[in-house]
Amino acid sequence: MNVGVRQNRLYRECFPEGPHPTRQTILKVVKRLRETGCVTSRPRNVARMVQPEDVPAYALALPHSSTKMISVNCGLSKSRVWTILNESGAHPYRSTPVQGLLPRDAERRYTWCNFVMNN
């Protein structure tokens, strides 16, 4: 039995629903895989605006930038930016302003603690 016919039957057994490729399509894919080691005929788009090594430098230069802003400016996906930052040991964060303590707060805190402990 021909390789294409066997592969076509195997494909139909594994994926019974939906459209099935023709025998010629399977033969072309097998031939391309043997010749090039790749199933697709199109080359991958590897052109990027920046290299992944530049992402931690970008995050250090602009510490208040979000991962979304880094991904847009660097031409990488947000998940790729997260992966690069995690692999480099960096942790993106956004600072959150909080209320600070004032000198007069110490006496109020002491009074409150005494009230809670005595009641």
Query: Cα separation of 17 and 83, whole Å?
Result: 36
Contact 7, 30 (CB under 8 A): yes
Q: Tell whether the model's pLDDT for residue 60 goes beyond 60.
A: yes
Q: Which amino acid is at 104?
A: R
Q: What is the pLDDT of residue 103?
A: 86
90 confidence band (pLDDT: 50, 70, 90): confident
Q: What is the pLDDT of residue 95?
A: 66
10 Å Cβ neighbour count for 107?
A: 9
Global pTM?
0.41
Q: Tell whether the model's pLDDT for residue 46 goes beyond 60.
A: no
Contact 81, 48 (CB under 8 A): no
